[in-house]
Amino acid sequence: MADGVTQLCELYNRLRLSLFWTPKSRNMPPIAHLIIASLTGVAVALIASYIPTIWRPLFGRPSLESYAPGFNLVLAPQTALVEKTPLQGEALHALKLALDMNSEGKRDKALKLFKQAEALSPHHPEILLHYGEFLEEDDIIHAEHLYARALAVSPGNSRAFANRGRTLPKVRQLDQEMLDKIDNKRDELFRIPKGSLAMKRAITEAYYKHIYHSNAIEGNTMTLSMTRAIVETRMAVPGKSILEHNEVLGLDEAMKFINGSLLQKQEKLTLDDVLEIHRRVLGHAHPLEAGRFRNTQVFVGDHVPPGPMDIEKHMSEFNNWLLSREPEILHPIEFAALAHYKLVYIHPFTDGNGRTSRLVMNSILMRAGFPPVIIRYQDRHDYYEFLNVANHGDVRPFIRFVARCTDRTIDEYLSATTIFPVGHSRPPELTDGHDDLNDDDAYMFSADKE
């Protein structure tokens, strides 16, 4: 820095002496010398300011934004991810074996070895790059994700940068096609008559199932039928704790608030709306903590949320983001998933963060014309895994997960309002309880459900 300032001063003196210091200039008044010196200083400052902007595009390394203009969905990792572990040697050995197997045409064995190498050292750039190049033909989305992780670990890696520059446009196109497909299904849902009795039943069933699944993800053991009975009758279920009853009632109150207030609100969602949602989520279970930021440190698996002293600052930034122009350039599904992730990353409350985040996500989607999306209990492992992947720098897999949940939810609404011809196989109903179901067996609606 000091050398740069010295060079600028020398340049200034040379310009001043060569341009203005003539024998005639010695007779000039002092004010003229002052004006000339000021103009020279301004000229030098402008040259120093604009040279880098001209130099970098011509000779410097391009940034990721040159490949992904607009809002960047790849978040910067919070800490350095490169670490030397005792397993790194084993990971590199597995990588070497994987490359040998691939060269011999044994792709199945190579795939297993690549997965083993990544599991042993998940942040090693060479492993990520070789694994991505192996997958690029069959799964370009996963390959591009591996390149993004490699760049997060090693920003100056030219090979990772070139690979991502090659695959990112294709991945963005695939993502856009997926979102366009969901938009078309949403439009098809709009064409169903408002007085459709089948649609009314589907909406009612979805209401109970959202409460059931959202609570089940957090460990509530109420079944679907128990959840419906509590909401409809306000009667206690034998053998279940008061806390679990109150969690059901809290989600019921929060969803009524969203349907009755937030959906009619013309302005953007704000932090006050988030606090109002949380106040109802925990209003029955933990009334003293409802609608209030935590004052203790919490731990969520491997993720350590911000400390209690930083909560207000982070939530103020979250509020500014909600009110900014950035969400407007995003698809509603991207906006909703990012809002969910940002809120659950900050983890501002002692309890109820996941339920509140899912309700905020659905508030954004419903205001954009989508039905409330249900993240199913049986998908909780994928749900947490994609959130963990987002913590390591790439939130797009979580956005795609939310998009798939949205697509499935719309399909369930459409199937619930479709009259199946005689002899046509009908989808089975969702069973009651916490069984882990396959996607093909987990339909939530039935055409003749009362």
- The binding site consists of 300-303, 351-358, 383-384, 391
Contact (Cβ atoms closer than 8 angstroms) between residue 377 and residue 224: no
> Judging by beta carbons within 10 Å of its beta carbon (0-12, 13-18, 19+), is residue 275 exposed, middle or buried?
middle
Give CA–CA dist 128/37, Å, rounded: 56
Beta bridge pairs of residue 74: 394
Return the sign of the alpha-carbon dihedral for residues 444, 395, 387, 272. negative
Take residue 30 and report the two structure tokens written for it. Answer: 């002092």
The region that residue 433 occupies, defined by phi over 0 for left and psi between -120 and 50 for alpha, beta otherwise, is left
The DSSP 8-state label assigned to residue 300 in this structure reads B
- d(CA 295, CA 312) in angstroms, rounded, equals 11
Give the Cα separation of 132 and 114 in Å (integer): 10
Task: Measure Cα distances from 432 to 61, 103, 213, 237, 443 in Å.
Answer: 56, 50, 11, 15, 12
Task: Assess whether 286 carries a catalytic annotation.
Answer: no
Give the torsion through C-alpha atoms of 148, 154, 160, 161, to 10 deg: 90
Contact 354, 344 (CB under 8 A): yes
> Cα(first)–Cα(last) distance of the chain, in Å?
75
444: which DSSP letter? -
The H or E element that residue 247 is part of is helix 242-260
Set 284, 347, 424, 434: catalytic member: 347
Is residue 394 helix, strand or coil? strand
**Phi (first) and psi of residue 397, to 5 degrees:** -60, -35
Nearest to 20 by CA among 32, 8, 5: 32
Residue ranges at the known binding site for ATP:
300-303, 351-358, 383-384, 391
Q: Which of 190, 143, 150, 152 is nearest to 171 (CA)?
A: 143
CA gap 358, 351 in Å, rounded? 14
Residues designated as active site: 347
